[in-house]
Amino acid sequence: MMTNNGGFQSNFPPNGGGPSGYDSGYNSHGNGFQRSQTYMPPAPNFPPQQPYSPSPLQHTNTYMPPQPNAYPPQPNAYPPQPNAYPPQPYAPQPNAYQAPPSFDRANTYMPPQPYQNPPAYPPQPAPYTPPPQRANTYAPPLQRPPTIYDRIGTPSQRGPIPLSNPNPMPYPSAPYNPPPSYGQMGGNFNPEQDCQVLHNAVHGAGTDEQAIINIIVNRNVAQRAEIRNYYKSCYGKDLIKRLKEDTSGNFKDVVAGMFMTPAEFDAMCLYKAMKGAGTNEGVLIEIIGTRTNEQLMQVKDVFQREYGKSLETWVKSETSGNFRNLLIALLQCNRSQNPNPDPNMCQNDAQALYRAGEGRWGTDEATFIRIFANRSRAEMGMINDCYTRLRGGKGLLKAIDKEFSGDIKKLLETVVGGLLDPAGYFAKRIREAVKGLGTNDSKLVRVIVSRSEIDLRFIKQAYQTIYGRDMLNDVRDDTSGYYRDILTGLISRC
């Protein structure tokens, strides 16, 4: 049956009825499809669905009490799992803060705890105790000819050069005291008679060089100074100028130098090294780097008096850089004279030298200058020992060789050698003057004249020990004439 309802043609009765087993998909008013009243047959080939069965834990209907300081419950959170890992108790740590029994950590203010110092380090061994000092004594003979680096660079070989005599011999701190026969020539010393001999040697035609040599070789420095003064009172002329007029060459330099005082001779050598174009740095290094405070003060006074200008001013104008700084520091004559060094101070100085040189990138020259210019001979010996222990057998000379170069390196090595092994240092200078082709006569004259009454006999023994050669023979082979006679005479008589 077809009815017209609201313009829509339907095959169902007006009351919503329909064929048997079906409900109408539209209401009686035709206002849309009613799904709740409509049977939906299963789709073909679709597996049957399992009925819904709620879980034993009805999370939505279970009360969960709020936890202190817990996160707020999250919607659709993951429910607690059965057989979960139970919470573990917190194991107390040693030395931890212990809360009182009624302590509520969640609601209790925790004041900041003061910093506690860590436990102290275990006690350290006893401080370094230096071995008994051997200052001013010679070491026993070595098994092999040593080098200057060996003698200064290791504690067992530090100090003056060893002699063939196993008994220690004191090293002279004052001018050498000559043997009884020294300064005598056929009787008691008579300055008037010596002046007459010298006057006859240079007066008239020709010169009696042998008479001059005999006077010089057989008189000490005090006696030669007296002869010089007496000669001027007898003949009205300066003896040195008179001798220079009748002699020449290297022989003249030796004769003039032997009638000068040591300070006058050093001042003259320094003046010649700096005057004119260029500077002979080797002379500055040898003299300023090896002289004592008293010797340098006398040289400064003589230089000012003879040449009208201070030695320090002249050195400043002729040198530069750290080489000049060390020379000026040495000329202040402030080196300590302490014969009993402080072990702690020497240990600190050794560590400071290591930090200023081998223990850093670059070199702190100021630290080397400060220590090398102001420590006494005994203190430098102990500093060298401490540094050698610190560096496992490498002494100060090894550090200088590694960290420095040029003139400053030579001056630092000279300061160490002049303080710890002066005889070995000057033996090396003489060897440099005579070895190879030719002879460095100025160096040879300067060393022999300046050390003739200080330590020349020790230098001769050091030369034999270091090089296995006789210094007298080497000097004789490299010189000639009266120049050879006067040098060999001085070496033989020392």
pLDDT, tens digit, 9 for 90 and up, residues 162-191: 333 333 333 333 333 433 333 334 347 899
| pLDDT of res. 494 | 79
Q: Which domains does the chain have, with CATH numbers?
A: 191-258 (1.10.220.10), 262-331 (1.10.220.10)
Local confidence band at 220 (pLDDT 50, 70, 90 cut-offs): very high
Average pLDDT, the chain: 78
Mean pLDDT for 246-263 is 96
| pLDDT of res. 204 | 80
User: DSSP for 65-80?
Assistant: PPPTTPPPPPTTPPPP
| pLDDT of res. 188 | 76
User: DSSP for 79-119?
Assistant: PPPTTPPPPPPPPPPTTPPPPPTT--GGGS--PPPPP-PPP
| pLDDT of res. 450 | 96
Q: Is the pLDDT of residue 36 over 80?
A: no
3-class secondary-structure state, position 288 = helix
* Biggest CA-to-CA distance, the chain: 181
Mean pLDDT for 125-144 is 47
Q: Is the pLDDT of residue 294 over 90?
A: yes
| pLDDT of res. 408 | 97
Local confidence band at 487 (pLDDT 50, 70, 90 cut-offs): very high
Q: Which residues of 198-234 are buried (b: 16+ CB within 10 A; e: fewer)?
A: bbebbeeeebbbeebbbbbbbbbbebbbebbebbeee
Q: Lowest mean pLDDT of 107-116, 154-163, 193-202, name the range.
A: 154-163
Mean pLDDT for 10-28 is 43
Residue 220 identity (one-letter amino acid) = N
Local confidence band at 92 (pLDDT 50, 70, 90 cut-offs): low
| pLDDT of res. 354 | 95
pTM above 0.85, yes or no: no
| pLDDT of res. 194 | 95
Task: Please indicate whether residue 479 or residue 5 has the higher confidence score (pLDDT).
Answer: 479
Local confidence band at 468 (pLDDT 50, 70, 90 cut-offs): very high
The rounded distance, in Å, linking the Cα atoms of 283 and 273 is 6
Local confidence band at 53 (pLDDT 50, 70, 90 cut-offs): low
pLDDT digit string, tens, across residues 223-242: 999 999 999 999 999 999 99
pLDDT digit string, tens, across residues 197-217: 999 999 888 899 999 999 999
| pLDDT of res. 127 | 58
Local confidence band at 113 (pLDDT 50, 70, 90 cut-offs): low
pLDDT digit string, tens, across residues 403-444: 999 999 999 999 999 999 999 999 999 999 999 888 999 999
Tokens of 181: 């026969």
| pLDDT of res. 86 | 64
Mean pLDDT for 382-386 is 95
Whether residue 250 contacts residue 445, with contact meaning beta carbons closer than 8 Å, is answered with: yes
| pLDDT of res. 437 | 87
| pLDDT of res. 118 | 53
Mean pLDDT for 90-100 is 62
Closest CA to 73 of 57, 83, 87, 62: 62
